[in-house]
Structure 1
Amino acid sequence: MHPILTFFHVDSTAELVWVGIGFLAQVLFGSRFIVQWFHSEKAGESVIPIAFWWLSLTGGALMFAYAIYRWDPVFMLGQGLGLFVYVRNLMLIRRSSNREVTG
């Protein structure tokens, strides 16, 4: 068995790809806090930029897919519920932006 497969405790290249998807999901999801911090420092107050919600949705969706692949119901429930929050916030932002444009 290849040492990389052994290191990540997987039996196939397909499983290794899923581990890569899981890592990518964690990076995207974690980076939302860096983005939020950067925008807050720039504004001089606590703000949540739209990029925060997009990173939350993308990272959360990938983590949800990974949780389904691993068939982890605890992880699926946690990530699945979060997706509703991220989508709803993006909907509210879009509605607010449309109201500002139409005045």
Structure 2
Amino acid sequence: MTLDTIWIIIGFLGQGIFFMRWVVQWIASERHAESRVPTAFWYMSMIGGLITLAYAIYRQDPVFIAGQSIGSIVYLRNLMLIHRPNQGASGTASPATKS
């Protein structure tokens, strides 16, 4: 197996995790009969995005690198908001942010 083949597998793994986040979100929404964005969605976004970013860096694709880098900042910020100490204090979380 060549190095390029290994990186292609890594790239597909990242894209697979990134895609599966939509399945997780869809299932959560169907279960609650309203739009939901579970915490797992943001973790899968971050993990899939970082793996895909590593692949983009290996391929030296500046467009792909920029897109995945910016996306990772958004995913990290959402996770920070979800896990901040006073997150549940107000009790006013919207259905789209409940897990």
Moved over 4 A (4+): none
2:7 matched to 1:30? no
2:81 matched to 1:92? yes
> How many aligned residue pairs are there?
88
Residue of structure 2 in register with 1:82 after alignment: 71
2:54 matched to 1:65? yes
* 1:38 Cα offset (Å): 0.2
Residue of structure 1 in register with 2:5 after alignment: 16
Unmatched 5+ stretches in structure 1? 1-11
* 1:14 Cα offset (Å): 1.1
Q: CA RMSD in A?
A: 1.1
Residue of structure 2 in register with 1:44 after alignment: 33
Give me the whole-angstrom Cα distance separating, in 1, the residues matched to 2:20 and 2:2: 27
Give me the whole-angstrom Cα distance separating, in 1, the residues matched to 2:56 and 2:3: 15
Structure with higher RCO (Cα < 8 A, 6+ apart): 2
Task: Report % sequence identity.
Answer: 51
Q: TM-score, normalised by structure 1?
A: 0.82
Of the two, which has the highest radius of gyration? Answer: 1
Unmatched 5+ stretches in structure 2? 90-99
Higher helix share: 1
SS in 2 for 1:47: coil
